[in-house]
Chains A and B, each alone.
Chain A
Amino acid sequence: MRLRGAYGLMFAYDFMRSAFMAAFFVSAVCGPVGWFLVLRGQGFASHALSHVGFAGAAAALLVGQPAFTGFGASAVLSGVAMGLAGERLMGRDVTIGLVLSLAMGLGALCLHFLTRSAGAATSLLFGDILGIAHATLWWLAGLTAVCLAALGLMARPLLFASLQPDVAEAKGVSLRVLDILFLALVALATAECAQITGALLVFTLMIAPAAAALRLGLAPVAGMAAAAGLALVESWAGLALSWQSGFPAVFWIAALGCGACAAAFGLARALGR
């Protein structure tokens, strides 16, 4: 009884209700988008885009704009650039690493000129799920609707192109256009995700649930739904645990993500898959 009371109190606070709603919108997008990222072996694309997004967010704060806008705009631009560069990026790990370091460095420089830099740095890098404003919540809801609609339209050709690029191309699917659209979608999902997990921990909601769903051998639509569901459970449980323990929610989300992934891998092995 006391426990239920303690958790019941959680929803008495506006910032907690906002946090739970934000986690819902973010999970709904990160699950399916992450499913395709893991399927295509592009997991690190979301990591790279979040680094560039961090620089954009810091620059936006410096000129008095919302961090979310800066993050989204810079991530989408670099996502489209990655799509245009296509296979030329293959095997360029040093170049990619240098560009990402430069982005982080520029982000640090922007924060240096910002007066309230310490708090901003922490929330950009590790997220600020308890500080979600109402306006941001509306943005998240709108972006989630747009992203899910776009994914709903492109999921079928994207799956075909990911599995059998030559055959898909022969059937008239434009691989280049799909690449660019998908990376733009990843950028938007990353921007949403960073609101909760920060730039550094995008992997926890984007990749971990999707990897677990895929390892279980679920069919495409079921796998995407399971990834979204798992992301939702992990982020809500992370919030509840954070409420109870006082530890940051991102810590719990990261820990739960790794735990769920390990459990899925163990289960799949036990089932002989």
Chain B
Amino acid sequence: MTQPPALQASGLSVMRQGRLVLDSVSFSVPAGSFVGVLGGNGAGKTTLFRAILGLEAASHGTICIEGHPAGQKGGHAGRAGIGYMPQLRRLVAGQLSGWHMVAAALGGGRPGLPWYGRAARARVDAALDAVDARGLAHRPLAALSGGERQRLLLAQALLDDPRILLLDEPLASLDPARMRETARRIYDLARARGLTVLMSTHDINPLQGFMDHVLYLAHGKALLGPVEEVMTTSALSALYGAPVEVIHAQGRVFVVAEGGGDTLHSCDCAGHMA
């Protein structure tokens, strides 16, 4: 028997603040694949993740997680296998140690005191070890760099032994060398544990060689496929509904609006060129 797709969206539409962010989007993510989620600012990457998590209501369409239809907004059934790493936000509680920030997610919804027994402590330590963050976890959050805090967030996403990881811009605020290192770390983890990974990013290049699929979002539409099929001038022009050129130079990929027209947000170009 073949494995059901890890995630499947059928005719998914999501409204946000009166704007149709995702417009009848359909795609299917095979189990165990590593997907780079691309698109400019406001293209709907975060909204898609939130819809998958049940935090945004779909106005139309359905999402299936591992073959089971996921409930509507507020429903958490069937989503236990998803680990989520949100975009880095303003730091709260910088006085607390990284260890306790990670541990807070362990059974965090249960009533009681934030008290951790031996088994719980071992699980937190194991998640920290998986991202090589054991050494920095005893330091207060305020003393950590953005990249170090993101590593802790990744450890947190791994706590409940998820089968699917949704990572929202885990490469943001890293320098190019660290981007590549982080992408490799996530890739190795996913391979070792057989995880399905959806990872949004502004820049496709640090993920080159790790992704087997690209999910490209633009103008409310989505296109999922192997990198060499999606990242082409014809495919992306069709998605944007306007001429877009995909340029390969020095082993890197750039997406450029033809003639510098206003078919792309400026951030699209800047992001991909970075």
* A contact set with B: CB distance below 8 Å: 39-41, 152-157, 159-164, 166-173, 214-215, 217, 219-221, 273
Contact = CB atoms under 8 A, between A and B. Distances in A.
A171 B108 contact: yes
Contacts of B104: 159-160, 163-164
Interface residues of B, number: 32
Interface string B41-78: 00000000000011100000000000000000000100
Interface of B: 53-55, 76, 79, 82, 84-86, 89, 92-93, 95-97, 100-101, 104-105, 107-115, 140, 143, 156-157
A217 B76 CA distance: 34
Nearest to B85: A167
Given A170-B82, A173-B109, 10 more contacts: A39-B92, A152-B112, A154-B111, A156-B113, A157-B109, A166-B84, A168-B109, A171-B109, A220-B100, A273-B143
Nearest to B113: A155
B138 to A, nearest CB: 9
Contacts of B96: 39, 163, 214, 217, 220
Contacts, number: 96
Contacts of A273: 140, 143
Where chain B touches its partner, the secondary structure class is: loop
A40 B114 contact: no
B111 A170 contact: no
B48 to A, nearest CB: 14
Nearest to A168: B108
B109 A152 contact: no
A152 B54 contact: no
A157 B110 contact: yes
Across the A-B interface, the 10 shortest Cβ-Cβ residue pairs: A160-B108, A166-B86, A172-B76, A170-B53, A214-B95, A153-B111, A220-B114, A39-B93, A160-B104, A159-B114
B108 A170 contact: no
B108 A157 contact: yes
A129 to B, nearest CB: 30
A221 B103 CA distance: 13
Nearest to B90: A41
B111 A164 contact: no
Contacts of B110: 156-157
A81 B271 CA distance: 42
Given A153-B112, A168-B109, A221-B113, A163 B84 contact: no
Nearest to A158: B114
Nearest to B108: A160
Contacts of B108: 156-157, 159-161, 164, 167-168, 171, 173
